[in-house]
Amino acid sequence: MNTVGEAALADSRAPSRLRVAVCWATIVSCVPYLSLKLLWLAGFSSGAATAAGAAELGDVRHTIGNVVTVGMELAAVALVLALTYPWGHRVPAALLAAPIWVAGGLLAPIVIGLPLGLLAQAFTGGSAAPAGNGLESWVYVLVYGGFIMQAVGLVTAFVAHARARWPNVFRMPAAELPEPTPAHRRLSVLSAGAATGYAVILAVWSVAAPAWGAPAGLVTVTQRSALLATGLLVLAGAVAVLSLLHRRGQRRVIWPLVLAWIGSAVTVTAGPTHLVLSNNGNVSTPQVVVSLAATLAGLALTASAWRAFPRRAAV
């Protein structure tokens, strides 16, 4: 259990040079994407490959999206600062955990899916970006390269912060998990089953897209690989939540907790993300239904994982 003395000690320690370097490297990785978005909001068409692409950058849908993503980038900057410097230990845990959980749900499929997709694309040939999308290829390098760097930086900063603030979580054996109630078991099984179904649908979409209700515009191998990566992460989260029901021995629960954390976040955020980013705003009824059901399943999966975790461990 984290004592008051341990918390005070963690709060007083200055971050190591490595943590500071990771923090500022993460902030620097936000600058290109943030600059591009601000240019678009200011009316510039930087990165547009065609006149139609330039016009699309200024429409209402893209303007709203740009405002939201600028806010998200600024939140990422504030988050990595809080995770690095001592004052962050005085921030309530929920105010740090919630945004890092959302960030994990949004960025994990990119971190895993993009490298695998590029590798697969290299063997199959063709361009990783869809033809006629209205943007120069360097825009994708800047955006997704920045996302991967931000993900690595945020994860590194969060792990270092968590190890200092909640060291007992990293040592906790399975035997210390609370005994699940019958209601908790039912919630875990039902939510994991629904999430597994969503994972299967994503795997099918990764092969059949854009048919069978898959998100519009996913035509390259690289894009489809992101769907497969999303499905694998959802499945991993479902399996991890079920594994938390079994309180056996002294095995540490940190890895099932990590997988449940990431998998539940991906399950909740993937559907809405696919709807928002759907090509030209075109969404099918099956996609909407599946996305809504997946988000509800993800919320139930998150609740199940949270109920499996002893509250005193995060004090």
Q: Cα(172)–Cα(42) distance, rounded to whole angstroms?
A: 51
- Which H helix or E strand runs over 105? helix 93-124
Residue 304 to residues 136, 184, 231, 284, 300, Cα–Cα distance (Å): 43, 7, 19, 30, 6
* 267 and 295, same domain (yes or no): yes
* 51 and 140, same domain (yes or no): yes
Quote the domain boundaries for residue 20: 4-165
Q: Cα(8)–Cα(89) distance, rounded to whole angstroms?
A: 9
Find residue 252's DSSP bridge partners: 173
| Total of domains in the chain | 2
- The last residue of a domain, from among 141, 165, 189: 165
Question: What are 75's two structure tokens?
Answer: 């939140």
* 89 and 238, same domain (yes or no): no
Q: Cα(252)–Cα(256) distance, rounded to whole angstroms?
A: 9
At residue 313, the pLDDT reads 56
Q: Cα(58)–Cα(48) distance, rounded to whole angstroms?
A: 11
At residue 77, the pLDDT reads 98
Rounded-to-5 percentages of helix, strand, coil across the chain: 75, 0, 20
For 56, residues 6+ apart whose C-beta sits below 8 A from its C-beta are: 62, 134
- The last residue of a domain, from among 102, 131, 165: 165
* 131 and 39, same domain (yes or no): yes
* 86 and 152, same domain (yes or no): yes
* 307 and 253, same domain (yes or no): yes
The letter for the amino acid at 129 is A
235, 263 Cβ separation under 8 angstroms: yes
- Which H helix or E strand runs over 306? helix 285-308
* 230 and 195, same domain (yes or no): yes
Enumerate the H helices of 135-253 as residue ranges: 137-165, 167-171, 182-208, 221-243
Of 193, 258, 204, 191, give the one whose Cα is nearest residue 230.
204
At residue 1, the pLDDT reads 43
* 193 and 154, same domain (yes or no): no
* 34 and 74, same domain (yes or no): yes
* 156 and 209, same domain (yes or no): no
Question: What are 12's two structure tokens?
Answer: 């007083």
Residue 13 to residues 10, 22, 120, Cα–Cα distance (Å): 6, 17, 45
- The last residue of a domain, from among 103, 131, 165: 165
Q: Which residues of the chain have pLDDT under 50?
A: 1-8
* 179 and 142, same domain (yes or no): no
